[in-house]
């Protein structure tokens, strides 16, 4: 049974590291490519310095958070952190915002490169852009891993989280070497859409685990449902409160997939008809 629960935690850990790390690397690589195209090849090193500084700061923050929220942290604190991670995942990494994220991502890079080109402090501008981009992903990763570690109660599960982290880091290193020459060929929108499905599932899991932790601390009531099994690795607990919260997130996801299909087709026909009408009047 423990082996069966270890595998999901390994995959969760690997997915978080690879997705968040790759997003940060894509920003850095695209900033570097933009600097080269604008004739600022000498500034590429500054971009990597800014990214490296953000990585060091992220590691320090992770160390501080780990000491503040040690193994002795109460169920209330764990539950709050898990729900906070779920909310962050829902907003930042859901497929509902993936397309707008990709657009903001592209706009961010273009604006920073243009601003740096016209700035007297080009080095600082590019390094700061890389620093802030990587630090943001580092902060998100810390939040997600703290929530993941809180849900991994068995020793084998904690080992699986660590193994997934190492595997994700190795995968990132290999991917970085490959992508350094292929930045312009990366399908950014598709990348966000596909990986966000996995992270949205994590939001559902963290929601169940977070509410369960608050129930153990007595902050949230628990109405038992005897027919539902307890599967902590999926955030599934036999209470009305946890099931209802997870069902709501799942329903929102399904609603997003179902909503655009019929209305968009009708809107598309209406829009095309209006365009044809305008064309006939010209």
pLDDT values of the chain reduced to their tens digit, one per residue, 282 residues:
455 578 888 988 898 888 888 878 877 877 777 777 766 667 788 888 888 999 899 888 888 877 766 555 566 777 887 888 888 777 765 544 555 555 665 666 666 556 555 555 566 777 887 888 888 888 888 888 888 887 887 888 889 999 999 999 998 888 877 776 665 555 556 666 666 777 788 889 889 999 998 998 888 888 999 888 988 888 899 999 999 999 998 888 888 777 655 444 444 444 445 445 444 444
User: Tokens 């953000």 belong to which residue?
Assistant: 54
What is the per-residue pLDDT for 265? 44
Helices (H), 71-187: 75-92, 98-117, 122-151, 155-179
At CA 188, angle to CA 246 and CA 115, rounded to 5?
115
Rounded CA-CA distance 84/88 in Å is 6
Give me the pLDDT at residue 167, please.
94
Q: What is the pLDDT of residue 239?
A: 94
Instruction: Tell me what pLDDT residue 101 has.
Output: 56
Distance separating alpha carbons of residues 223 and 209, to the nearest angstrom? 15
pLDDT of residue 135: 87
Q: What is the pLDDT of residue 281?
A: 46
Q: List Cβ neighbours of 89 (8 Å cut-off, separation of 6 or more).
A: 144, 199, 200, 202, 203, 206
Among 109, 88, 134, 93, smallest CA distance to 33 is for 109
């Amino acid at each position: 049974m423990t082996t069966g629960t270890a595998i999901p935690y390994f995959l969760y850990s690997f997915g978080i590291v690879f997705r968040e790390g790759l997003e940060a690397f894509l920003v850095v690589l695209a900033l570097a490519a933009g600097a080269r195209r604008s004739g600022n090849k000498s500034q590429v090193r500054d971009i990597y310095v800014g990214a490296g500084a953000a990585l060091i700061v992220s590691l320090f923050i992770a160390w501080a958070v780990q000491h503040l929220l040690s193994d002795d942290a109460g169920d209330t604190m764990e539950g709050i952190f898990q729900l906070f991670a779920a909310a962050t995942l829902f907003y930042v990494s859901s497929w509902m915002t993936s397309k707008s994220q990709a657009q903001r991502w592209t706009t961010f890079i273009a604006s920073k490169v243009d601003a740096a080109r016209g700035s007297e402090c080009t080095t600082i501008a590019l390094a700061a852009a890389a620093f802030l981009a990587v630090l943001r992903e580092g902060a998100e990763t810390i939040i997600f891993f703290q929530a993941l570690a809180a849900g991994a109660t068995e020793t084998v599960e904690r080992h699986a989280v660590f193994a997934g982290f190492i595997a994700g880091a190795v995968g990132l290193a290999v991917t970085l070497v490959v992508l350094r020459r292929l930045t312009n060929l990366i399908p950014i929108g598709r990348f966000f859409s596909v990986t966000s499905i996995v992270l949205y599932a994590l939001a559902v899991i963290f929601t169940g685990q977070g509410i369960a932790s608050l129930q153990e601390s007595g902050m949230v009531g628990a109405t038992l449902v005897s027919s539902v099994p307890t599967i902590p690795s999926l955030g599934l607990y036999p209470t009305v409160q946890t099931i209802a919260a997870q069902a709501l997130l799942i329903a929102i996801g399904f609603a997003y997939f179902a909503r655009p299909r019929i209305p968009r087709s009708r809107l598309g026909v209406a829009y095309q008809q209006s365009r044809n009408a305008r064309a006939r009047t010209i």
